[in-house]
Amino acid sequence: MAVINQPGTQIKLTNVSLVRMKKGKKRFEIACYQNKVQDWRSKIEKDLDEVLQIPQVFLNVSKGQVANNEDLLTAFGTTNQDLIISDILDRGEIQLNEKERVANLRQKQNEFLTIISTKCINPKSRKRYPPSMIQKALSELKFHLNPNKNTKTQALEAIKLLVSKQLFPIQRAQMKVKVILVLRVKDQVYEQFIRPLLDVVEEETSNDKVFESTSVIDPTNYKAIVQVLQGDNAKIQRGEGTVEVLDMAVLKTE
């Protein structure tokens, strides 16, 4: 709960989210209702009165320090409160309260564990591990999610760690892709550069114009396939080949 101290009165704010912006040597804050800032940024909410708990720019909300016109003019080039508040809402840093931080961390943790669970399998049973088992293993390996970093990137780092340490049998799930090439480049491009990147070829078809290959690949090879098809190789021109992801996480078949 934030408390605004003003002459002769004290205003208590509940369920408040602060949005903060530093301009020059001063920091400016506005007090908003929880969840309304994201609604504003996604254009769902367009009424400032529905977003703000107090239609005022502060230097410090908790201390009740209101920004004066001189501060605003120096920092923003205007004293128009609505324009300044809109700028802070659009580009400022959202300060989460403790409840929001806990909820945000829990959401990211669930997303993090779900990514790992869907991208990995037990190579013996061909089944996926539940998030709870993955979390226990990562705790033993002292790998902890950083809420300020990209969740997907950290999940991929965690997968590499789990696979390398093998606290239990685990491997990265494969991707299923379809490669489509104009027929004239099949022999020189597909056979020489793409085929070695495919783990299991499930189907190959062709007609008088195009050749198609549906295959299972290691996800780490996807970027290399894309680079070949984008014309990094002199034997293929842009537009003569594409790759389509059919499934992001499949089990490799023998």
Please report, for residues 75, 104, 132, 250, the alpha-carbon distance to residue 231 in angstroms, rounded to integers and kept in the order given. 49, 42, 44, 28
User: Which pTM does this prediction carry?
Assistant: 0.53
254 confidence band (pLDDT: 50, 70, 90):
low
Evaluate if residue 1 carries a pLDDT over 70: no
Q: What is the mean pLDDT of residues 204-230?
A: 90
Q: Which helix (H) or strand (E) holds 172?
A: strand 171-172
pLDDT digits (tens, 9 = 90+) for 35-93: 788 889 888 999 999 999 999 999 998 888 999 999 999 999 999 999 999 999 999 99
- Choose the CATH number for 2-95 among 3.40.50.1100, 3.30.1250.10, 3.40.50.300, 3.40.640.10: 3.30.1250.10
Q: How many CA atoms lie within 13 A of 28 on its CB side?
A: 25
Burial of 248 (0-12, 13-18, 19+ CB in 10 A): middle
Which neighbouring-strand residues pair with 22? 27
Fold of 174-250: Alpha-Beta Plaits (3.30.70)
Reference 34, options 106, 91, 103, 83; nearest CA is 103
Report how far apart, in Å, the C-alpha atoms of 124 and of each of 71, 97, 134, 174 are: 66, 45, 17, 15
Q: Three-class SS of residue 24?
A: coil
Average pLDDT over the chain reads 86
Contact 68, 81 (CB under 8 A): no
Identify the burial level of 39 via C-beta atoms within 10 angstroms of its C-beta, where 0-12 means exposed, 13-18 middle and 19 or more buried: middle
- Write out pLDDT tens, residues 127-184: 889 999 999 999 999 999 988 788 889 999 999 999 999 999 998 888 899 999 998 8
Coil, helix or strand at residue 74: helix
Q: Where are the domains of the chain?
A: 2-95, 98-172, 174-250
Contact yes or no for 12/3 (Cβ under 8 A): yes
Domain 98-172 has CATH 1.10.10.900: yes
Q: How far apart are CA 86 and CA 82, in angstroms?
A: 6
Asked if 147 and 105 touch (Cβ cutoff 8 Å), the reply is: yes
- pLDDT tens per residue, range 199-209: 899 999 989 89
